[in-house]
Amino acid sequence: MSAGRFPWYNREGKPIEPFVIGIAGGSASGKTSVSKRIIKNLGVPWVVLLSMDSFYKSLTPEQIAAAYRNEHNFDHPNSFDYELLHQTLLNLKKGVKVEVPIYDFVTHSRLDKTKTVYGANVVIFEGIFALYDKQVRDLMDMKLFVDTDADVCLARRLKRDIAERGRDISGVLQQYHRFVKPAFDDHIHPTMRYADVIIPRGLDNTAAIDVISRHLSRQLNDRGVNLRIEIAGDAVSDKLPDNLLVLKPMPQLKALHTAIRDRTTSRHDFIFYAERLSRMVVERGLAELPFAEVNIETPTKSTYAGKTWARKVCSVSVVRAGATMEQGLRSVVKDIPIGKILIQTDPSTGEPQLHYCKLPADIKDRYVLISDAQIATGAAALMAIRVILDHDVPEDRIIFLTLIAAPLGVHTIANAFPAVRIVASEVDKELDEWLHIVPGFGNFGDRYFGTTDESYGTSDTNSDNGY
């Protein structure tokens, strides 16, 4: 991916309500082009462009056959699934994850796969009936109508449907005169009265689009968030939070920390001691899982009153450094499903960005062990936890495993998500002016994978420094 997902939540971990813009207009009037121009002009970190085309109802075999004969009316309000559309927009408005359907115009059906969309700074919803339904309109902060000459719309529709949707010219013209033009006159054009702004000539009206973009920019200024700077400026209590579980400071644990913190430790030894430390953290985390009583029969035919897992468990590694704990995890929990989240730092803003997310399909039914080698400010940890919560995992079923942490980071997590338990082998003293953990053990990922020399803090493009 060329760009990752910026935070869609505030410092308390709560989703930020996005600014929702509805853009309506006739078929091929330039709604999508206007939407993309507004997105370009705004220049905000994350915008979701949601097309009403995604919410066409699935057709019956008879309707599909009629569609191939250009005899099915796609330009009627009843062709759309307004219940699903409203729920999707409502969830985006709440800042939570949604699954957007994908409609295939070649087969006239919804695909089995969906597109996962997390919360956004701005949601632009465009479609011919974008302003038709009152429940949908009520979710919008601004409503636009693109008013383009009918001949221009027809020319664009001919070009689009023939080139992109596999139609022939006679079929497109037949459908236009039978369904498209009457739908515009009877259903679409009347919704113009709901628009806050009407844009004549669509994309050609650059002056109107620029005015709208500037207005939106002013509206969005009050909704911005600079997560890392806000977190770094927090005052830290001397008392560590109650949901932090630190391993007992035994001599063996101190010896392991001495080995992996020593800058002269070889990569081979660093990996060995880091994986030993990971196993200890994993074992402590597993102690927080629920167990059920069970009676089993031993080889001596005696009954033993024991324990067994009460719920399923999975793990999610925050790549890169979190993946280094997987070996220790697998050596303790047999056949555990492991997901991946890639979070990196934007070099210009210092903000965390979500670049990749692959989670077990049934994650909402499991306890989740999130692993990352270090927690410094807690910004990357907040993002990882927010992603898991957006996949419907209850907060009290999340356990965050880390080797070392800074007080600021654990307080950040505890303040935002008090039910999430944090397991660490040791809590370090503080962060330096570059927000690296002190005394720390440097860039964990680089030292583990041998991607650079073993000096301190050579890379700040990911969470390996304890972001």
Beta bridge partners, 367, equal 313
CATH label of the domain that carries residue 363: 3.40.50.2020
177 plus 254 within the same structural domain = no
Same domain, 133 and 214: yes
Query: How many structural domains does the chain have?
Result: 2
d(CA 416, CA 45): 22
Q: Examine residue 3 and state whether it is found in any structural domain, yes or no.
A: no
Q: Are residues 235 and 220 in the same domain?
A: no
Q: Which of 224, 239, 254 is the last residue of a domain?
A: 224
**Tell me: the pLDDT tens digits for 32-68?**
899 989 888 876 656 788 999 999 998 889 999 998 8
In a domain, 374, yes or no: yes
Q: Is residue 33 one of the residues assigned to a domain? A: yes
The answer on 336 and 262 residing in a single domain is yes
Mark whether 276 and 323 lie in a shared domain. yes
Q: What number of residues does the chain have? A: 467
Determine contact, residues 425/403, Cβ cutoff 8 Å: yes
Q: For 263-297, write each residue's pLDDT tens digit.
A: 999 999 999 999 999 999 999 999 999 999 999 99
pLDDT at position 196, please? 95
As a whole number of angstroms, the distance between CA 256 and CA 323 comes to 19
Range of the domain at 452: 229-465
For residue range 240-263, what is the model confidence (pLDDT) as tens digits? 999 999 999 999 999 999 999 999
* Bridge partners of residue 405, in order along the sequence: 375, 427
pTM (two decimals): 0.67
Of the residues 175, 192, 224, the one at which a domain ends: 224
- Write the CATH number for 43: 3.40.50.300
Residue 437, SS3? strand
How many distinct helices (H) and strands (E) make up the chain? 15, 19
Are the C-beta atoms of 31 and 23 separated by less than 8 Å? yes
Question: pLDDT at position 458, please?
Answer: 35
Kindly state whether residues 280 and 376 are assigned to the same domain. yes
Residue 250 within a domain: yes
pLDDT under 70 in the chain at which residues?
1-13, 43-46, 119, 221-237, 346-351, 452-467
pLDDT of residue 218: 79
Tell me the pLDDT of the chain averaged across its residues.
Answer: 87
Q: What is the pLDDT of residue 135?
A: 96
285: how many CB neighbours lie within 10 A of its CB? Answer: 26
Say if residue 185 is in the same domain as residue 257: no
Question: Is 286 in the same domain as 415?
Answer: yes
Q: Which of 224, 253, 276 is the last residue of a domain?
A: 224
